[in-house]
């Protein structure tokens, strides 16, 4: 079986490719990525199971000709390519629409014309729900409040359009965190870990009482890698582990870094909440145990490069 992963050199993509490469049923993994984030860590990985299985196509998701050519003889497609940039998710609508919306549209059109495709998995975001103080259930209607979230919702609509022809799974991820060789440090937990470890100080926007939904990178890659051949997994699903207030993260970090300082920025501002039901009909496909937050953060700490003076 041949698999194509758009955005395969990114944070989630790197973890997913590593998982897929260990599957003896998968003959080839094609990474389709324009490498605009300048993250090439996947390609210097020494894991022996990557040898002979992984191929790179460096191209843009908006390149219709290249994406159609890349889909030849591919059976499964993971669509991860996206503009994220978490701190700037409401700055420039065109920035997100071009890749997340129209890039997905181009891929959807190409998928409809690719006879070998038997499964599509699209990684979306719980950000499409906007804000909610109540627990958001799986398949609740979207209510995006940022340009990023709106672009992901529109992308979902293109994926849903082809679902009647090709089994398609849409996975709405919470905030992904945890160590990976292709790290992102613009997401809240990852940034907190970096700042706590190297600066012994973190900054909290708002009063810290805002709730967010989180999921560890290992859980994401494990579940995604296990649903590539499951026809019953078509539909829209959550992929998240826990809902935490930002101040809960501070408490956890204080256990790991007892001398850590923290400051509030615009403490008088009440930030929006988003609580997402962590239960999902995809839970049966996990083959990895969930660890406690402290266990995960301690493991993350062990991967950071050095202990400063």
Same domain, 139 and 22: yes
Q: DSSP class of residue 101?
A: I
CA distance 18 to 29: 10
Per-residue pLDDT at 122? 98
Same domain, 203 and 253: yes
The answer on pLDDT for 97 being more than 60 is: yes
Specify if 308 maps to a domain. Answer: no
Q: Which whole number is the average pLDDT over 120-141? A: 94
pLDDT in tens, 234-275: 899 999 999 999 999 999 999 999 999 999 999 888 889 999
Per-residue pLDDT band at 98 (split at 50, 70, 90): confident
Of residues 247 and 309, more confidence is placed in 247
Exposed/middle/buried for 93, CB within 10 Å: 0-12, 13-18, 19+?
middle
Same domain, 274 and 298: yes
CATH code where residue 254 lies: 3.90.25.10
Q: Which whole number is the average pLDDT over 90-103? A: 81
The angle formed by the CA atoms of residues 24, 26 and 32, to the nearest 5 degrees, is 140
- In three-state secondary structure terms, 72 is coil
Per-residue pLDDT at 247? 96
Q: Which whole number is the average pLDDT over 3-9? A: 96
Per-residue pLDDT at 45? 64
Alpha helices in 28-179 (DSSP H): 64-70, 93-96, 102-112, 147-162
pTM: 0.94
Q: Which two tokens stand for residue 184?
A: 């992102």
Q: Which two tokens stand for residue 74?
A: 């591919």
Q: Note down the domain range covering 76.
A: 2-176+213-241
């Amino acid at each position: 079986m041949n698999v194509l992963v758009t955005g395969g050199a990114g944070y989630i993509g790197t973890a997913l490719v590593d998982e897929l490469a260990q599957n003896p049923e998968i003959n080839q993994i094609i990474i389709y990525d324009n490498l605009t984030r300048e993250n090439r860590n996947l390609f210097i990985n020494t894991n022996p199971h990557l040898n002979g299985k992984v191929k790179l196509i460096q191209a843009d998701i908006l390149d219709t000709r290249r994406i159609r050519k890349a889909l030849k003889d591919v059976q499964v497609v993971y669509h991860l390519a996206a503009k994220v940039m978490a701190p700037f998710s409401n700055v420039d609508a065109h920035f997100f629409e071009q890749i997340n919306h129209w890039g997905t549209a181009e891929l959807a059109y190409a998928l409809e014309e690719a006879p070998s495709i038997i499964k599509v998995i699209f990684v979306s975001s719980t950000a499409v729900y906007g804000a909610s103080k109540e627990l958001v259930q799986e398949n609740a209607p979207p209510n995006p409040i940022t340009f990023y979230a709106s672009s992901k919702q529109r992308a979902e609509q293109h994926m849903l359009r082809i679902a009647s022809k090709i089994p398609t799974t849409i996975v709405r991820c919470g905030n992904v965190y945890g160590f990976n060789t292709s790290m992102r440090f613009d997401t809240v937990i990852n940034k907190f870990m970096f700042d706590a470890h190297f600066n012994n100080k973190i900054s909290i926007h708002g009063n810290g009482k805002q709730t967010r939904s989180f999921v560890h990178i290992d859980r994401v890659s494990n579940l995604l890698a296990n649903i590539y051949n499951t026809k019953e997994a078509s539909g829209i699903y959550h992929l998240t582990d826990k809902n935490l207030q930002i101040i809960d993260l501070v408490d956890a970090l204080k256990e790991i870094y007892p001398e850590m300082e923290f400051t509030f920025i615009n403490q008088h501002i009440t930030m929006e909440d988003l609580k997402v039901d962590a239960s999902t009909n995809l839970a049966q496909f996990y083959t990895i145990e969930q660890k406690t937050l402290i266990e995960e953060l301690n493991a993350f700490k062990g991967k950071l490069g050095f202990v400063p003076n």
